Copies of this chain bind each other. A is one copy, B any other.
Amino acid sequence: MSITSRKRRYSFGPAILDHETSFRVWAPTAREVFLNIDGTKVKMERDGEEFWEVSLSGNRTGSLYGFILDGEGPFPDPAGRFMPSGINGLSQFIDTDNFRSLDSDWKGIDLKDMVIYECHVGTLSPSGNYSGISHIADHLIDLGINTVEIMPVAQFFGTRNWGYDGVYIYSPASCYGSPENLWNTVSYLHSRGIAVILDVVYNHSGFIGNYLDRFGPFHSNWHRTPWGNCFNLDGPYSDSVRRFILENVRFWIEDYGFDGLRLDAVHGIIDTSPRHILADIGSIFSDLTEKLGRRIVAVAETDQNDLKITEKHDKCGYGLNAQWNDDFHHSLHTLFTGESRSYYMDYGAPEDLLRTLKHGFDYNGRWSQHLKKTRGTNFGEADRSRLVVCSQNHDQIGNRAFGERLITLAGKEAAKQAAALTLLSPFTPMLFQGEEYGETNPFLFFVDTNDRDIAMSILDGRRKEFESFGWQQNIPDPNDPETFLSSKIGWEKQKSSDGQEFLDLYRGLIGLRKRYVSGRTSDYAVSERTKPIMVSYRTGLKLAASFLEENIPFPDHVREILYDLPSTMDGSCLISSGEGVFMKKGVLVYL
């Protein structure tokens, strides 16, 4: 790596400039700041109103460093590119500017064509690291899955974490490998035709190992979420905190080459500024799409059912590409499991699924018994691909006391029907690692701390969270390494006959999606009634689903059955008798 003529691309963090390495840190109210690098203290100079800077000769890649603020520290760099010893260690300078120098013909995947595969680095593969993701490329390609979504990797405490306790949003967690490993994985997946979305958390940062506020008011004094204080997006010094986040968006897309970001819980991003930061993120995605000449997507996780999130700027929206749609999951889940506690109380009738399929949002301004308020807006005629749906994801599986997947709760036949409804819905489908071969291992909530008090308070927190579901006793201890290990998926199950059966089904359904649904998600009609629920695409593909125990008259003509998925172990969804054709409980895919 040679030192070439380069300019600083980010306000935050170190960068190689001409023949030197510049360290720059935001510490607006500090009186004196030292860079502590490889054991040496170097005085930093003010750079403008809020930043401090010092340049050292040569390429300092690999140097370990931190900052000493008014005599305290060293603290790791809030925008450090790596923390090789984890959250309690120093930052290491990695020249991520250099990553993007690898040019490729990669143009990304269009949102309308995406089939997303959500995974967690530590539990996805036997090696449990960034490189492990690469090894599933053949598997994904075989099934037709074209997009991987990686749960958050921002440096968190310990070595086992879902990722939502991340603090250092420019540092990929070192327990999974090096920045190069992550970058190589993204590049490799691109070379195999697979897009990669990264889950990022901009609503709060983790409690543990968090020294951000030593540098400046990174967090809001006024706005809180259940997970911690929000980033300071509208208080004093918020210009820089906003920039810290907005540059992070660009960082992952430009330097690492990610094809999109999944923005965690955007309803927790509270911002009273004239322009909401989500609108700024929407603008960055537009700008980067043009600049980079490849397709990228901003996907919001939200429980708000708010069209504004994915509406264009000129229609008063935030201009993000897609948003998660809980209504789809919850209506499916309650129909298959009969569960009705906590947020599931708002669902359970076939009408919920019907309304979701038809209108995009089930709760589109209706009163929610669970939230005790009106929920959602109309989704109108917005393209259905802007809603990301699933029959299971890390939250819906893992935020249960015992982390059971749908197949465990409702059985094999239900899991297959759910797959058909998800993969052939007009929405953008997302799978959770392992469901495609009928994985039965749970996905549990896990952490890794040596601090007994923290471990206990996390366990207590989980117990409290589950009270409204009636799950209280004997929940697995998140801090027990076994909890993590039992959440790893077991690839060997693919080889079982059940595994093969599921893989064939998923491969087939994804094939049908590509042939009949992708890119034409707005050309469909949904039945008025739920006996059965029917979706018909203008391309000719049709779905019928019944959740009733009794056989109901089947009101359509079937030219060719593509998938026949009854709720009983065998037989067909359709029964012909002298009185006509009747449909049994199940899902039928036909032309």
Report Cα–Cα, A236/B222, bound state, in Å: 20
- Chain B residues within an 8 Å CB radius of A223: 222-223, 270
A274 and B236 contact, CB distance less than 8 A? no
Instruction: Pick from A237, A274, A305 the residue with the most CB of B within 10 Å.
Output: A274
Q: Which A242-282 residues have a C-beta within 8 angstroms of B?
A: 267, 270, 272, 274-275
B304 and A274 contact, CB distance less than 8 A? yes
In the complex, A214 has a CB within 8 A of chain B: no
| Among listed A373-381, A428-436, A450-458, A547-555, interface-contacting one | A373-381
Report Cα–Cα, A148/B376, bound state, in Å: 40
A374 and B224 contact, CB distance less than 8 A? no
Instruction: Tell me the smallest distance from the CB of A27 to a CB of chain B, in Å.
Output: 13
Instruction: Tell me the smallest distance from the CB of A204 to a CB of chain B, in Å.
Output: 12
Checking B237, B308, B367, B373 against A373 with a beta-carbon cut-off of 8 angstroms, the contacting residue is B237
Q: A222-B224, A373-B238 are in contact. Are A272 and B270 (CB under 8 A)?
A: yes
A236 and B371 contact, CB distance less than 8 A? yes
- Chain B residues within an 8 Å CB radius of A490: none
In the complex, A239 has a CB within 8 A of chain B: yes
B222 and A376 contact, CB distance less than 8 A? no
In the complex, A28 has a CB within 8 A of chain B: yes
B308 and A274 contact, CB distance less than 8 A? yes
In the complex, A372 has a CB within 8 A of chain B: yes
Report Cα–Cα, A308/B275, bound state, in Å: 9
Chain multiplicity (copies)? 2
A372 and B270 contact, CB distance less than 8 A? no
Checking B222, B238, B377 against A274 with a beta-carbon cut-off of 8 angstroms, the contacting residue is B377
- A316 nearest CB neighbor, chain B only: B316
B239 and A374 contact, CB distance less than 8 A? yes
- A240 nearest CB neighbor, chain B only: B373
Q: A223-B222, A223-B223, A272-B267 are in contact. Are A373 and B316 (CB under 8 A)?
A: no
- Chain B residues within an 8 Å CB radius of A308: 274
In the complex, A235 has a CB within 8 A of chain B: yes
In the complex, A306 has a CB within 8 A of chain B: yes
- Chain B residues within an 8 Å CB radius of A239: 367, 373-374
- Chain B residues within an 8 Å CB radius of A377: 274-275
Instruction: Tell me the smallest distance from the CB of A401 to a CB of chain B, in Å.
Output: 23
Report Cα–Cα, A243/B130, bound state, in Å: 51
A236 and B28 contact, CB distance less than 8 A? no
Report Cα–Cα, A222/B230, bound state, in Å: 11
Beyond A267-B272, A270-B272: 9 further Cβ-contacts under 8 Å?
Answer: A28-B372, A222-B224, A222-B225, A234-B373, A237-B373, A239-B367, A239-B373, A274-B304, A274-B305
- Listed from nearest, the 8 A-B pairs whose CB atoms lie closest are A316-B316, A236-B372, A274-B306, A274-B377, A238-B373, A237-B372, A239-B373, A239-B374
